[in-house]
Amino acid sequence: MSLRYLALGDSYTIGESVAEAERFPNQLAGMLANEGLTVEVKIIARTGWTTDELWDGIQKETLSPPYDMVSLLIGVNNQYRGRDIEEYREGFVFLLNKAIEYAGGDPQRVIVFSIPDWGVTPFAAGRDASQIAGEIDAFNQVNLEEAQETGAHYVDVTPVSRQAKDDPSLIATDGLHPSSKMYAEWARSALPIALDFMNKQPQRHREH
């Protein structure tokens, strides 16, 4: 059986500072492959992208929906640049609805990932970590609410991202982005969801 996976996001999805195979979408695909599924991964993501920049990037790509699975992780650069949280909500809702559209209109085939907390990284040394954490939590409240509103799945990776404060092995060599080890944790968190909705509709696998 095979499936097609579209991953939308920013540096956390493109895997800044890790090898292609270590990106979380690729690690998730590898875990699904271990379950007997052949996974074709398409990533639309770039370091530094905000919600509007992700949409600009999507429009420059050639898509062939419906995809069996779509993930969306976006917002850290909106927060980092001090952008308005209600502007983020508007942009996130638009992208989430697009993700659902790309998943054939089925929100159960969409996984929203929370924004990790970069405030615990070496890059953030000297900054107000508690303020960053509070803002990240506020942005994540938005994407959680909107994911629940549509019926999309939600994977909260923020707690494990905060473990990096005491575990340097969770941070890549650039001192900011997640390591392969952290991305593996994200992929493992999403795996049961991916397996569940893959197994519910085996006909979709055979179509591709």
Residue type for 99, please? A
Q: Is the pLDDT of residue 109 over 80?
A: yes
Q: What are phi and psi of 43, to 5 degrees?
A: -110, 130
Average pLDDT of span 171-178: 97
pLDDT in tens, 17-58: 999 999 999 999 999 999 999 999 999 999 999 999 999 999
User: CB under 8 Å to 200, separation ≥6 — which residues?
Assistant: none
The two tokens of residue 23 are: 């990106």
Question: How do strand 110-113 and strand 153-155 relate by DSSP bridges?
Answer: parallel
- Residue 65 lies in domain: 2-207
The structural domain count of the chain equals: 1
Question: How do strand 153-155 and strand 38-45 relate by DSSP bridges?
Answer: unpaired
pLDDT in tens, 118-155: 999 999 999 999 999 999 999 999 999 999 999 999 99
Q: CA-to-CA distance for 163 and 166, rounded, in angstroms?
A: 6
Of all helices (H) and strands (E), which one includes residue 73? strand 69-73
CATH of the domain at 112: 3.40.50.1110
Count CA within 13 A, CB hemisphere, residue 51: 23
